[in-house]
Amino acid sequence: MTHDLDSAGAGTAQNSGSPGPALAPGANPPAQRRGWRRITMVAAIAGPGLVAANAGNDAAGIATYASAGSQFTYGTLFFMVLVTVALVMVQEMAVRLGAHTGKGLGALIREQFSLRLTALAVFCLLLANTGLVVSEFAGIGAAFELLGVPKWAVIPPAAALLWALVLFGSYHWAERIFLIMSLAFFAYPVAMILGHPDWASVGHHLVVPHMEPGKDFILLAVALIGTTVSPYMQFYAAAGVVDRGARPADYPLIRADAVLGAVFACVISLTIIIATASAIGGTGPLDSAAQAAQALEPVAGKEAELLFALGLLGASALAGAVVPLSASYAVGEAAGVERSVSRRFRDAPLFLGLFTAQIVLGAAVAMTPVDVIQLLIGTQVLQGLISPVVLVYLLVLTNRRSLLGDAANGPRQRVAATVVVVGVAAMSTILLVQTLLGWFGLG
């Protein structure tokens, strides 16, 4: 909401009903007041950017990051630093579009590109997101199975809760719940510390590039890009800014939310890699996020396994709501119909109906004996194909001064963003080609 953003600058206002001692000119406010002002600022900043970036650390992301640690120990840490830079740039462009145009990415694609290109973007997003929704509910089931609870007992009520959260709440309320879900990610830094990593080696691999010539390392690097810079995150981030009621004047706070959210999400990703590397580094790829949690038990005890399960639950629940919402926003924007979490079903039937259908389908398929790993591989291939396409749309839109005016990309931003898009597209192409060759036995 707009008043949330504006409240950041209201911390110095005096309460007429409770006059206090005036501060001398140049004097610093009391420490308690400064503390509350910082909390108010953080609350004002936290929003769509943080939610979208954190949703990327979902079940598929956890499995990928954990596999990076188990296969190559700390060898992918520097690469993740580069991915962090890319995510920061991409998320910033997405929220800048939303803040300065008042429109989501789907609506802007519909207005600025042909109908066929719009339909292609929306269709690809829906296709990939459907598989991701299934994997999120499978992740919720896997988290509870680690705690000894069967998935059939938790997936239906979890689906109902996420559905009710969106259908019967406002965007402001839903966003606060999403941010609370993000607190679960703090489980991973704790698990990392309990794993007692080699900090000297961690520091070395964070600043020194490391590459291995094998195909497995290249494919994992591509998978790290695909699971970190996911297309649905850009759609949700831009649409969330609009649904929040942000204006161009709010852009500084919106930008801070996007940048800090991307950095926080990638720091969590790094802790997952380090936690797994310290426990089972060099033992080979993992089959699931649940296996990663169980692998930590010999090193850090049952507490680390519990923390990993809680993190998986929070991540899957967050993405279980954000992923279908991103698709609903995209379709609603492309169709030019009402789309807002703050609306009732009769006011936004397409938006909320599509969200409902994705929740029902995802939960239903996750209840079957589906091969979750193959599902994750398939959705990551689709994400790899879609990601550069969406990034091209994003780059073209943010380059257009006719759309953004002075807020359009400057010369340096254009060069940097183009390098990111070309790099992601090249790596995604490698992933797609290698996967197709593997299907035909040629890889």
pTM: 0.76
How far is residue 78 from each of residues 51, 204, 222, 318, measured CA to CA in Å?
Answer: 24, 9, 14, 27
Residue 371, pLDDT above cutoff 50: yes
Residue 398: predicted pLDDT: 93
Token pair recorded at residue 281: 């580094």
User: Is residue 281 helix, strand or coil?
Assistant: coil
Residue 31: predicted pLDDT: 47
Greatest mean pLDDT among 15-19, 21-25, 356-360 = 356-360
Give the list of residues 6+ apart from residue 132 with CB closer than 8 angstroms, or none. 58, 60, 232, 319, 323, 379, 383
Instruction: Name which of 293, 247, 270 is nearest 74 in CA terms.
Output: 270
Using CA atoms, how far apart are residues 234 and 87, in angstroms rounded to an integer? 10
Instruction: Name which of 229, 217, 227, 214 is nearest 262 in CA terms.
Output: 229
Residue 19: predicted pLDDT: 41
Instruction: Name which of 59, 137, 45, 42 is nearest 358 in CA terms.
Output: 137
| Among 71-80, 96-105, 120-129, 390-399, the least confident range | 120-129
User: Is residue 284 helix, strand or coil?
Assistant: coil
> Mean pLDDT in the chain?
76
Residue 78: predicted pLDDT: 92
Tell me if 262 sits within 8 A of 39, measured CB to CB. Answer: no
Q: Predicted confidence band at 6 (pLDDT cuts at 50, 70, 90)? A: very low
Using CA atoms, how far apart are residues 195 and 276, in angstroms rounded to an integer? 8
Q: Predicted confidence band at 265 (pLDDT cuts at 50, 70, 90)? A: confident
Instruction: Name which of 51, 33, 45 is nearest 4 in CA terms.
Output: 45
Residue 80: predicted pLDDT: 92
Q: Predicted confidence band at 278 (pLDDT cuts at 50, 70, 90)? A: confident
What would the DSSP string read from start to end of 393-430? HHHHHHH-HHHHGGGS--HHHHHHHHHHHHHHHHHHHH
Within 168-301, where are the H helices?
171-182, 187-194, 199-207, 215-228, 231-243, 251-280, 289-295, 297-300
Residue 29, pLDDT above cutoff 70: no
Say which CATH class 49-439 falls into: mainly alpha
pLDDT tens-place string over residues 340-355? 666 777 777 888 888 8
Residue 270, pLDDT above cutoff 80: yes
Residue 414, pLDDT above cutoff 80: yes
First to last CA, the chain: 50
pLDDT tens-place string over residues 173-205? 666 676 676 666 677 787 788 778 889 999 999
H or E, element range at 26: none
Mean pLDDT of 136-160: 83
